[in-house]
Structure 1
Amino acid sequence: MQQNEKNEINTNPPKAEFTKFDLGESDLPTLKNVVNDYESLFTIEQLEKLTLLIREYEKKTSNQIAIVSIKSIGKYTDFSQFAIDLSNYNGVGQKEKNNGLTIVFSKTLRKIRISTGIGTEQILTDEICEEVIEKTIIPEFKKGEYYLGIEKGITELMTKWE
């Protein structure tokens, strides 16, 4: 049992909080951070670096980026639709600007998708996103360098997006 500051015994056990996704009731997780590593592919230092990079970029531009690694897409059969729905479900990007970008990838499923808001896709077209995936991110992923692939990919996207 835990003791509080007054040395009294605390009989209330700590509460575990689960989301509908954690409990298998929803196929879409609620993103709690700008980098959501559900496959545990990044070290703490890598998570911190990516988070700082994304937050600094958002301060400078107001554009929002979310990174999600995921083992499963639940009942979904289309990875691209999962990525779009995940981004919309979590409201990535400012509503009035539609300036969000979500990179969803899965080492387990060997899939990756960049989902953009309507305002974003006017600059970062599907062709540009596909090129970044094919020429920048996937070559690093093939070497097992998931952090490097994502870091290089978002850096390139940020440069093109400004």
Structure 2
Amino acid sequence: MSNNITKLIILIVLISIFSCKKENIDLPKVDFDFKEIPKDKKYKENVYLIDLEKLFNSKEKIDLEKYLKDIDNKNRIKIRVLTIPSKNTSDKEWEISSFVSLNGIIINMSKSMKKIDIACDTNINTILTEKIKESIITENIIPEVSKGNYYIGLKKGLSEIVSLLKKKD
């Protein structure tokens, strides 16, 4: 009798296991891969712009740093901008903080790779969906970038991001 009960329990467990359906979840597209960053790396906390590709002149860099710092101080939104000249850029050449946590956004730009990407933490992803991020890139940033105006395009994109996030508060 106990042997029959054991077989019945095993049968129920097996049926349960094989009847579970795997849910199809669309994961967001990631254009930049940061998996190679060492876990014990010390990051620069107060850097908002890392321009490895040298897309901005010194005046633009100072203005962008100030603008991004003001966004952080006023809205508690940590936005960082990283320009990357190539996929082969050494991690020693750039260090970013672990800001993609609560209210963190990173904008990756690469003229040489022809890529622009906006990545957010999960709290902000509910507001800045993939569709909205793509719209910010195509409608605000790319029109200026295609004219060589990286600074103006980035400022327009940042302004749109802040505007959208303020509307949700």
TM-score of the pair, normalised by structure 2: 0.66
Which protein is bigger by CA-based radius of gyration? Answer: 2
Specify which of 36, 42, 55 is matched with residue 56 of structure 2: 42
CA contact (8 A) 1:27 1:73 kept: no
Seen in structure 2, the aligned counterparts of structure 1 residues 138 and 60 have a Cα distance that, compared at 3 Å, is same
Moved over 3 A (4+): 26-32
Structure 2: give runs of 5+ residues left out of the alignment: 1-34
Q: Distance in 2 between matches of 1:52 and 1:99?
A: 18
Q: Distance in 1 between matches of 2:106 and 2:163?
A: 16
Secondary structure in 1 aligned to 2:63? helix
Query: 1:136 and 2:140 equivalent?
Result: yes
Q: Which residue in the other structure is 2:78 paired with?
A: 64
CA contact (8 A) 2:43 2:98 kept: no
Secondary structure in 1 aligned to 2:105? strand
1:92, distance to aligned residue in structure 2 (A): 1.6
1:127, distance to aligned residue in structure 2 (A): 1.0
Query: 1:147 and 2:151 equivalent?
Result: yes
Q: Which residue in the other structure is 1:124 paired with?
A: 128
Q: Distance in 2 between matches of 1:73 and 1:102?
A: 17
Q: Which residue in the other structure is 1:91 paired with?
A: 98
* % identity of equivalent residues: 29
Residues 64-120 of structure 1, C-alpha deviations (whole Å, 9 max, x = no match): 000011011239xxxxxxxxxx99x73124x4xx21110001000101110011111
Secondary structure in 1 aligned to 2:99? coil
Q: How many residues align?
A: 123
Residues 107-155 of structure 1, C-alpha deviations (whole Å, 9 max, x = no match): 0010111001111111111111100000110011100001111011001
1:157, distance to aligned residue in structure 2 (A): 0.5
TM-score of the pair, normalised by structure 1: 0.69
Seen in structure 2, the aligned counterparts of structure 1 residues 31 and 159 have a Cα distance that, compared at 3 Å, is farther
Q: Distance in 2 between matches of 1:50 and 1:31?
A: 20
* Alpha-carbon RMSD: 2.5
| Aligned residue type for 2:143 | P
Q: Distance in 2 between matches of 1:109 and 1:27?
A: 19
Secondary structure in 2 aligned to 1:90? coil
Seen in structure 2, the aligned counterparts of structure 1 residues 27 and 39 have a Cα distance that, compared at 3 Å, is farther
Q: Which residue in the other structure is 2:67 paired with?
A: 53
Q: Distance in 2 between matches of 1:107 and 1:30?
A: 27
